[in-house]
C-alpha cells in the first residue's frame, strides 16, 4: 500500500462573523495517497477555498485532524506552519504570482531562499533542473513580462517543484489560460504525476477533472462525491484534437 500523504478526519472550520458563526467545513474526512492526482471541485461557497487554505497550511482547522506527511498541523505555530509550507508543499496560483522584473530562475529559487539547509550552488542547480522539467531550460533569464501566460505558469510550476514537496497544491491553475494553453499545462501536470508527484488541483471546471485520477466534490461544506476516475483523459491527446491555430 502506498504512503498516505494527506489524512483528514472530521475536519471542521468555523468563522465568526460578528455574532454569527459560519460553518465553512462541516466535518470532512478523506485521505490522499502518494502518487494520486486529485481534483477538488465545487462551486463558489462550497468551502473549496477554505479547504485549499487548510490543505496548504495557510489556515488551521477549528477542530478535527489534519495530517500532512505524518505531521499533525493543528496547534502548530505560525513559524512551524511556514516551515511545513516551505518543505512539504508546492503552491501554484491562478494568477501565477511571480515576482515582477525578476528572472525565471530567481523566481524558481524563491522557496529555497527561505531554507537555510540549501546552499546557493545547490539552489541554482535545483532551479535549473526544475525549469528544464517544465520545458523552460532555454528561458532562465527571462522576466515574467517577457513570457506568455502559459510560460509564466510553467515557471510557477517549476517554483512549486523546486523544494521537492510531498504534494503540489494548485489553485485554479488554468483559470487564466485559454483552452489550448490549459491543456498544455494539464498535460504537464499529468506528466509530472506519472513521475510520481502527488497533485491536488482545486478547480470549478468539470473538464479539468477528467484529466485527474480522482475527484472530490464539495458542496456547502460537505463532501457530496468522492470517486476514482475510471476513464482518465490524456491532455496531450485532447490537445492534438484541437483545431490547428491559424498563423
Partner 1 sequence: MRLLNLFKIATKAIILNKTRTLLTMLGIIIGVASVIAMLAIGEGSKESIRTTISSMGSNMITIRPGADDRGPARGSGGNVQTLILEDYNEIKEQASLLSYITPVVNGGGQVINGANNWPSTIYGVNPEYLNIKAVGLQSGSMFTDAEVKSAAKVALIGETVVENVFPDGQDPVGQMIRFNNIPFKVIGVLEEKGENTFGQDQDDVVIAPYTTVQKRILAIDYLNQIMASAISEDDASEAVTQVTDILRSQHKLIESEDDDFTVRSMEELISTFSSTSEMLTILLVAVASISLLIGGIGIMNIMYVSVKERTKEIGLRMAVGAKGADILMQFLIEAILISITGGVLGVILGLGATVFIETFLNWPTSVALYSIVISFAVCAVTGIFFGWYPARKASALDPITALRYE
Q: Could you tell me which stretch among 38-46, 56-64, 147-155, 195-203 binds partner 1 (CB under 8 A)?
A: 56-64
For position 97 contacting partner 1 by CB under 8 A, the verdict is: yes
Per CB under 8 A, the list member of 14, 34, 87, 207 interacting with partner 1 is 87
How many beta carbons lie within 10 A of that of residue 240, not counting itself? 11
For position 176 contacting partner 1 by CB under 8 A, the verdict is: no
- The shares of helix, strand and coil residues in the chain, as percent rounded to the nearest 5, are 35, 30, 40
Closest distance to partner 1 from the beta carbon of 99 (Å): 6
How far apart CA 78 and CA 75 sit, in angstroms, is: 9
How open is the CA angle 110-113-117, to the nearest 5 degrees?
Answer: 135
Closest distance to partner 1 from the beta carbon of 113 (Å): 4
DSSP code, position 45: T
Per CB under 8 A, the list member of 114, 137, 148, 225 interacting with partner 1 is 114
Closest distance to partner 1 from the beta carbon of 155 (Å): 13
215: β partners: 39, 227
Sheet holding 167-171, edge to edge: 89-92, 167-171, 199-203, 37-41, 214-219, 222-228
Taking the least distance from each CB to partner 1, the nearer of 91 and 201 is 91
Chain positions contacting partner 1, by CB under 8 A: 53, 56, 58-59, 78-79, 82-83, 85-87, 91, 93, 97, 99, 101-102, 110-111, 113-116, 119, 159, 163
Amino acid at each position: 500500500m502506498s504512503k498516505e500523504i494527506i489524512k483528514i478526519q472530521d475536519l471542521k472550520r468555523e468563522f465568526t462573523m460578528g455574532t454569527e458563526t459560519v460553518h465553512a467545513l462541516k466535518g470532512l474526512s478523506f485521505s490522499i495517497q502518494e502518487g494520486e492526482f486529485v481534483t477538488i471541485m465545487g462551486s463558489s461557497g462550497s468551502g473549496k477555498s477554505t479547504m485549499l487554505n487548510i490543505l496548504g497550511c495557510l489556515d488551521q482547522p477549528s477542530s478535527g485532524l489534519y495530517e500532512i506527511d505524518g505531521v499533525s498541523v493543528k496547534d502548530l505555530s505560525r513559524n512551524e506552519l511556514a516551515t511545513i509550507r516551505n518543505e512539504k508543499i508546492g503552491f501554484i496560483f491562478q494568477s501565477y504570482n511571480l515576482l515582477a522584473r525578476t528572472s525565471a530562475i530567481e523566481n524558481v529559487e524563491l522557496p529555497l531562499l527561505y531554507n537555510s539547509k540549501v546552499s546557493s550552488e545547490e539552489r541554482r542547480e535545483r532551479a535549473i533542473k526544475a525549469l528544464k522539467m517544465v520545458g523552460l531550460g532555454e528561458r532562465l533569464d527571462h522576466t515574467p513580462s517577457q513570457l506568455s501566460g502559459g510560460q509564466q505558469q510553467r515557471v510557477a510550476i517549476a517554483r512549486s517543484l523546486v523544494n521537492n514537496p510531498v504534494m503540489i497544491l494548485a489553485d485554479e491553475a488554468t483559470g487564466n489560460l485559454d483552452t489550448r494553453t490549459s491543456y498544455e499545462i494539464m498535460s504537464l501536470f499529468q506528466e509530472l504525476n506519472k513521475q510520481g508527484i502527488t497533485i491536488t488541483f482545486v478547480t470549478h471546471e468539470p473538464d479539468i477533472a477528467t484529466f485527474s485520477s480522482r475527484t472530490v466534490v464539495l458542496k456547502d461544506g460537505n463532501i457530496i462525491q468522492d470517486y476514482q476516475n475510471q476513464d482518465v483523459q490524456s491532455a496531450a491527446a485532447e490537445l492534438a484534437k484541437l483545431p490547428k491555430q491559424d498563423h
